[in-house]
Amino acid sequence: MTPRRRVAVLVEPRRIELRDEEERAPSAGAILVRVRAALTDGTDLKTYRRGHPHMPMPTRFGHEYCGDVVAVGAGVTRFSAGDAMMCVHTAPCMRCFWCRHGEEELCERIMETMLLGAYADTIEVPAAVVAMNAFPKPATLSYVEGAFLEPLACVVHSVERLGPVTEAVIVGDGAFGVLHALVLRNRGVGVTLIGRRDQRLTLARAYGLTAIDARDGDAREAVLERTAGRGAESVVECTGAQSAWEWAPSLARRGGTVSFFGGLPAGTHVSFDAQRLHYDEVCVRSPFHFTPKAVRSAYELLCSAAIDVRPLVTHTYPLADIAAAFARLDSGDGMKACIEP
């Protein structure tokens, strides 16, 4: 009998179907992985709500996952059937202009070759990812923790783009905001997080993070008070909201850096006080994706247990209930959900 598998497909905004399809043997250099944990993230939720230019509907989705190798394609020697593994969903080509200039995150083939479809019983990991951005999962690491490799790699890359930093303000109390705070704190950086959701602020404080509730008053004044009136050395925007992009530079000190991690929809235009940016030498960055180096660093962070990511998963659902998982997140309840096929 031909093996079958279930795959979640986003048919249109807020409508997910679970489809049955044939499970094929992996191609040369690839591996077939049984998904043990697949995490939701902000991009998935935005796609669920309004679509995504790189994921035309109907589309498979889900890209943060961890699992067990079911079968390996010809030529694969790094993994064998039965191995627990963890990986990200892309790998740079290492041949284009950007790859040759050490900017692998901007590889011209990254978006067109990214692997989607982790909300499924199994997923085929392509040869390029197997060769460069896949790793064995240690027995000491849970599958849920292993699924954090991709989002943590994005955060590591973002933090590395900041350069040397001693203090930072994170705008946004979602999973990416908290991950930024944890990675920065692990590097000895003083961190203040700004948010506006009770559940998430409580979680941030449970981590021992300094968290400001933006609803309680003027968050900018609170930042100035904590920095002797200077403003923050580094500000990282993690909400992906236009208003937050426009507000974030007001939190930076003279000579400071503002990093726009949270993406905005295509065609969005934002306004800044150009005089402030110019005369106060406020540097603006906008990190994207990750590099193989960042993936390796994220892997080492997870394996060393330097950062505990488990509290960021607030709900767990079987694959059959994935629609309910996204409906709950869409309502504003929870941080990240884990889908366990």
DSSP 60-122: E---EEEEEEEEE-TT--S--TT-EEEE-S----S-SHHHHTT-GGG-TTHHHH-----SBSE
195 in the same domain as 162? yes
pLDDT in tens, 219-266: 999 999 999 999 999 999 999 999 999 999 999 999 999 999 999 988
User: Do 141 and 181 belong together in one domain?
Assistant: no
Can you tell me the distance from the alpha carbon of 223 to that of 142, in angstroms, rounded to the nearest whole number? 37
Total domains present in the chain: 2
* Structural domain for 261, as ranges: 155-285
Query: Would you give the DSSP letter of residue 313?
Result: E
Would you place residue 160 in the very low, low, confident or very high pLDDT band (cuts 50, 70, 90)?
A: very high
Q: Are 317 and 339 in contact (CB under 8 A)?
A: yes
In a domain, 303, yes or no: no
DSSP state of 318: E
DSSP annotation of 174: S
What CATH number is attached to the domain comprising 54?
Answer: 3.90.180.10
52, pLDDT greater than 90: no
- Residue-level pLDDT at 265: 87
Distances (CA, A) of 61 to 38, 257, 268: 10, 33, 24
- Domain identity same for 133 and 212: no
Q: What is the mean pLDDT of the chain?
A: 96
DSSP 3-state of 261: coil
CB atoms within 10 A of CB 84: 18
What is the amino acid identity at position 275? Answer: Q
Instruction: Render pLDDT for 262-305 as a digit per residue (tens, 0 to 9).
Output: 999 889 999 999 999 999 999 999 999 999 999 999 999 999 99
Write down the pLDDT at residue 209. 97
Q: What is the residue whose two structure tokens read 């067990």?
A: 68
Based on the fold, state whether residues 22 and 38 are members of the same structural domain.
Answer: yes
pLDDT above 80: residue 2? no
Q: The CATH number of the domain where 200 resides is what?
A: 3.40.50.720
* Structural domain includes residue 291: no
Q: Measure CA of the first residue to CA of the last residue in the chain; give whole Å.
A: 21
Token pair of 225 as six digits = 């008070």
- Whether 156 shows a pLDDT value over 80: the answer reads yes
89 and 211 belong to one structural domain: no
Statement: residue 145 has pLDDT above 80: yes
- Among 28-32, 142-146, 149-153, 214-218, name the one with the lowest average pLDDT: 214-218
